[in-house]
Amino acid sequence: MRCCAMVLVCLAVVAGPVGAQLSDDGEFLEGIVAVVNDGVVLTSELDQELAGVRANIRAQGLRSPPSAVLESQVLERLVLREIQLQRAQRLGIEISDEQVNRALGFVAQQNGVELSDLPDALADQGIEYARYREELRAQIELDTLRQRDVVARVYLNPREVDDFLRGAEAGEEANREYMVSHILIGTPLNATAGQRDAARERAERLRERVLEGENFAELAIAYSEAQNALQGGSLGWRKRNALPTAFVAHVLQLEPGGVAELITTGSGVHVVRLDETRGGDPIIQEQWELRHILLQPNEIRDDDATRGEIAEIREQILAGESFGALARAYSADPGSAGEGGMLGWVSPEDLDPAFAAGVAELEGDEISEPIRSSFGWHIAQRSGNRMQDVSEDVRRQRAALALRERKVQEETQLWLQRLRAEAFVEYKK
C-alpha cells in the first residue's frame, strides 16, 4: 500500500478541506482564520491542511520551516482556493456524483485496489471516505474552472511549433530534459517601483542564502509564492520548450547545481536553479502495422451483444471473408473504416492500453479474440513489426504539447494574480 499512501496523501493536500459549517442562526460554528469575499477559511481547515503539508515535507526528507511561516504559506493557498471555488459557484459549475465516481475509480486503479476496497484503503491512511469524496469533488471543480477560464483560451499556432523546430533549439539537443527549481517573490499586477525594488531585494537575499549552501527546497517551502512552493519549488523534468519562457536562456547557461541571476517576469522576481539534466539520445520505438474493426455499444445493442457481434465478424474472417470489406461495412472507427480498417504503423504507447495489450499477444497474421477497450469492442490483425527512429515525430508532438503547457502555466499564474487582486480578504489570525 506504499503507492496508495503516496497518491492519497497527495490528493488530500491538493484538494484541501471543504466547506464552512453554519449553525441554524447563521453563525459559524468554528474559529475563522480568514474572511474571503462572502466566505471564510476555518481554523479546522487550516489545521488539517497544515497536517497534510507537514506530512509531505517529512516524506521528502526536508526540514519544515517555522510554524508561523508555514501557516502563512498554507493559509494563502487556502484563501486562493476559496476564491476559485466561489468563482466556480458563481459560474454554475457543478460536479455530478458520476464524475466523482469516475475519479474515484481512477484513484483506485492507480493504486492497484478495487473501487469497493478504496474506503478501507483510505481508512488505513487515517482519511475519512466521505470527506475524501467531497475533497475530490472540489478538486474536479477547480480543474473545470481552470479549463474554462485559462486552458480553453490558450491557442497554439502550428507555425509556433514549426518555428521552434526550425530554430536553434531543434536537433538532438531538443530531447534533453532539465530539472529546474525556482522561488518566486511575487509582485502585484500594477506594482509600483518601490514594490518591485522590495521584491528584488528579498529575492536577492534568498539567492545569496542558496549560494551559501542553504537547502533550496526548504527555502522555497518557506518563502516562495509560486504554485509549487510546497513541493520545494521543483518544476519536475521538462524539455527546454516546456520551461517558463523567461527561464530558458538563463537555464541553458547553467551547469547542474548552478543558480541563475535574478529573473523578473510579470509574476514577480524568481530565484532559479538547474538541478539536473538528462537525455538527448535518439528515440527508438517498436511499431506495429495494424488493422482493426471496432464496434461500440449503443441504445439497441448492449455491451454483451456488441461483443457477440464482433465475435461473429471474426468468425466470418476466419471462414475466408475479406477483413477490409467487413471493416468498411461495420467498423465504427471513422478514421480507418474507409481504409479497410488499416491503422498503418503505430507505436503501442499511442494505443488504448487494453487494446495494445491484446494486440501484443498476437503472432503472425493471427486475428485477435474480441478486445474490450475504452472505445468499445475490437478485433485486430498485426501484419508487421519494426523498430523505428521516431525522434522527429515525437519531437514535434512533444514540442506542441510543451509549448501549449508553457502558455497554460504562464496564463494560470497571471489569472490567479488577477483573482487574488480582485478579492476581499481579511485575516483574523
Is the confidence at residue 183, as pLDDT, over 70?
yes
The region of weakest confidence among 23-37, 54-68, 400-414 is: 23-37
Is the confidence at residue 263, as pLDDT, over 60?
yes
Q: Rounded to an integer, what distance in angstroms lies between the CA atom of residue 240 and that of residue 405?
A: 12
Q: 379 and 271 in one domain?
A: no
Question: CATH number of the domain that 46 lies in?
Answer: 1.10.4030.10
- Compute the CA torsion angle 64, 65, 66, 68 (nearest 10 deg): -110
By the 8 A CB rule, do 144 and 198 touch?
no
At residue 17, the pLDDT reads 43
By the 8 A CB rule, do 150 and 404 touch?
no
At residue 20, the pLDDT reads 45
pLDDT class of 162 with cuts at 50, 70, 90:
confident
At residue 167, the pLDDT reads 62
By the 8 A CB rule, do 150 and 408 touch?
yes
Query: Nearest-CA neighbor of 31 among 47, 17, 18, 16?
Result: 47
At residue 318, the pLDDT reads 96
Does residue 343 or residue 158 have the better pLDDT? 343
Looking at 149, 176, 202, the residue that finishes a domain is: 149
Q: 324 and 419 in one domain?
A: no
Looking at 96, 118, 149, the residue that finishes a domain is: 149
Instruction: Say what the pTM is.
Output: 0.60
Does residue 414 or residue 18 have the better pLDDT? 414
pLDDT class of 429 with cuts at 50, 70, 90:
low
pLDDT digits (tens, 9 = 90+) for 47-57: 989 988 998 89
b/e sequence 57-73, b meaning 16+ C-beta within 10 Å: beeeeeeebeeeebbbb
Is the confidence at residue 171, as pLDDT, over 60?
no
Does residue 30 or residue 130 have the better pLDDT? 130
- Max avg pLDDT among 53-57, 190-194, 270-274: 270-274
Q: 246 and 232 in one domain?
A: yes
* 260-283: average pLDDT: 89
* 76-99: average pLDDT: 94
For cell 485575516, the residue is: 427
The kind and range of the H/E element at 5 are helix 2-15
At residue 5, the pLDDT reads 39
By the 8 A CB rule, do 178 and 243 touch?
yes
Is the confidence at residue 15, as pLDDT, over 70?
no
Count up the domains in the chain and report the number.
3
Distances (CA, A) of 190 to 199, 202, 266: 13, 19, 9
Task: Give the list of residues 6+ apart from residue 299 with CB closer than 8 angstroms, or none.
Answer: none
At residue 175, the pLDDT reads 65
pLDDT digits (tens, 9 = 90+) for 353-389: 899 999 999 988 899 999 999 899 999 999 999 998 7
Strand ranges across the sheet with 284-295:
342-346, 284-295, 377-389, 371-372
Is the confidence at residue 59, as pLDDT, over 90?
no
Domain ranges, residue 291: 284-388
CB atoms closer than 10 angstroms to residue 215: 14
Q: 81 and 41 in one domain?
A: yes
Does residue 294 or residue 114 have the better pLDDT? 294
According to DSSP H, which parts of 177-223 are helical?
A: 193-211, 216-223
- Compute the CA torsion angle 19, 24, 28, 30 (nearest 10 deg): -80
Is the confidence at residue 192, as pLDDT, over 50?
yes
Is the confidence at residue 12, as pLDDT, over 60?
no
* 255-260: average pLDDT: 94
Distances (CA, A) of 196 to 180, 219, 423: 24, 20, 22
Is the confidence at residue 73, as pLDDT, over 80?
yes
At residue 6, the pLDDT reads 34
Quick one: three-class SS letters along 371-394? EECCCCEEEEEEEEEEEEECHHHH
Q: Rounded to an integer, what distance in angstroms lies between the CA atom of residue 104 and that of residue 123?
A: 15
pLDDT class of 169 with cuts at 50, 70, 90:
low
* 124-130: average pLDDT: 87
Looking at 95, 127, 149, the residue that finishes a domain is: 149
Rg (CA), the chain: 26
Q: 347 and 202 in one domain?
A: no
Q: 204 and 305 in one domain?
A: no
Does residue 269 or residue 166 have the better pLDDT? 269
Q: 288 and 259 in one domain?
A: no
Is the confidence at residue 24, as pLDDT, over 70?
no
Percentage of the chain modeled with pLDDT above 90: 57
Q: 8 and 126 in one domain?
A: yes
Question: CATH number of the domain that 270 lies in?
Answer: 3.10.50.40
Q: 289 and 226 in one domain?
A: no
Percentage of the chain modeled with pLDDT above 70: 90
pLDDT class of 3 with cuts at 50, 70, 90:
very low
Q: 138 and 33 in one domain?
A: yes
Does residue 381 or residue 175 have the better pLDDT? 381
Q: 300 and 255 in one domain?
A: no
At residue 349, the pLDDT reads 87
Q: 296 and 227 in one domain?
A: no
